[in-house]
Amino acid sequence: MKTKNITEGASLLGIYLLLLLMTLYVPVIGTVTLFALVVPFVLYTIRNGWKSGVWFVVAANILSVLLGSIAALSLSIPMSTVGVVMGYLFAKKSSRYVILGASTGVYLLNLLLGYIVAIVLFDFNIEKVMEGSMDQLYLTAESLATFTGQQNTEETMGLVQETMDGFIYLLPSGLVTIAFIFALISQLVAGFILKRLKVDVTPFPPFRELELPKSLLWYYLIVLLLSLFEMEKGSTIYLATVNLSYILMLLMTIQGLSFLFFISHEKKIPKAVPIITLILSFLLPPLLYIIRMVGIFDIGFNLRKRIKGK
């Protein structure tokens, strides 16, 4: 049995290293193979358990170091650890939403650890880098406004500066969003490949069945009340309020979109309608606001149960 595990591990390591090299050195294809990096770890963990999966992670990261590239290791650590967690939860037949949440958490932890290592070892500060980029963008925008002869240049540039500051303040939320997107795509890719390999995996529930816990509504209301108070920009409480508000608004919007797909299914409305609405919501901010309000009412008043009752 051990010989079989070693042979399988060696084969999957070879596949992993090939995917890693393609990700690093083949521009277009590398974007696709990036999210497939988790698959060898998922597959090995499903077949051999999480303990063997941890040793597989160690072996993969040692080989990544031998490739002689910091970029290789910086990709290998997050993808391998997420792959083991995914594999363990897939083996337990956990809900795909549970797997999504756990994977997001592991990706986020890796991002934070990577940020700390970059600060300690390379004296890298992403906030200073962003501020430098924003300052350059500000100067460019100011020159453009002056060149085109726009009126109220100072007022316009004040809005530009405020917007740029907002990006810096929302850095924590940005990391959470990146972790979530990576977790979602990685899981979809892993699930697709596992099905092709005839591995029995829990299917992803339809998006229309997604219902967030009611407790989130209370958190949203508390954060909304906090945002009404005057706060010093850049303070800890300000940053916490701004980032929690962003994340909770995003969750309410997702709930609203899920409700649109639900009601479309219940009323036999063509699937194209909620899909087109989803696309338009990214182009029309007022529509996105309406969808968010629908999500809030859905959580607060259990609209789905009322519709099913009728």
Summarize pLDDT for 245-262 with one digit per residue, the tens: 999 999 999 999 999 999
Residue 60's pLDDT is 92
The mean pLDDT value of the chain amounts to 84
pLDDT in tens, 148-159: 555 555 555 555
Would residue 172 count as lying in a domain? no
Q: Is 124 left (phi over 0), alpha (psi -120 to 50) or beta?
A: beta
Domain span including residue 268: 206-310
Residue 230's pLDDT is 81
Would residue 6 count as lying in a domain? no
Which one has a higher pLDDT value, 205 or 68?
Answer: 205
Please report, rounded to a whole number, the percentage of residues in the chain having pLDDT higher than 90: 40
Residue 104's pLDDT is 95
Residue 160's pLDDT is 56
Residues 201, 90 contacting (CB under 8 angstroms): yes
Distance CA 110, CA 182 (A): 12
pLDDT in tens, 81-131: 999 999 999 999 998 999 999 999 999 999 888 878 777 776 666 666 666
Would residue 40 count as lying in a domain? no
Distance CA 100, CA 210 (A): 13
The pLDDT confidence band at residue 68, using thresholds 50, 70 and 90, is low
pLDDT in tens, 71-91: 788 889 999 999 999 999 999
Would residue 271 count as lying in a domain? yes
Q: How many domains does the chain have?
A: 1
